[in-house]
Amino acid sequence: MASVLPRSSKPRGADPSIGELLSTVTSDVQELFRQEAELAKAEIREEATKAGKAAGMYGGAGFAGYMVALFLSLAAVFGLANVMDAGWAALIIVGVWAVIGAVLYVMGRSRMREVSKPEQTVQTLKEDAQWARQLTR
């Protein structure tokens, strides 16, 4: 981590010029932005690792749920096959799953339409860029 003290080759008693002060401030701001970017990258890597592990667990849970639904469906087909033809029993279960799928699709589509870009983050980044431009003028 770099020092935040101004880098100057002049003795302590001499006053730095405005150009030197501006150069020091600019380099310090650049260093600050670099350090913040490195910190953000490290935090993102750490959180991405956690999210990846959690996603793997969700995937495993989803597969287990799929298997439960499959075997429950087979059990329902076999149960209905005791009172009607097996083909009709299978079609009834397929129809139930088709209705469930259609309802979930419609609900998912309506929720997806509500999703928008992160307006506050975009605005904050624009403000940061304007602030940085004003410092270098």
- Any idea what DSSP says for residue 11? -
Instruction: Please answer whether residues 33 and 136 qualify as being in contact, where contact means their C-beta atoms are separated by less than 8 angstroms.
Output: no
Q: Is the pLDDT of residue 1 over 50?
A: no
Answer yes or no: are the C-beta atoms of 44 and 61 closer than 8 Å. Answer: no
Read out DSSP for 1-47? Answer: ----S----S-TTSPPPHHHHHHHHHHHHHHHHHHHHHHHHHHHHHH
CB 2 within 8 A of CB 31: yes
Q: What is the tens place of the pLDDT at every residue in 47-94?
A: 889 889 999 999 999 999 999 999 999 999 999 999 999 999 999 999
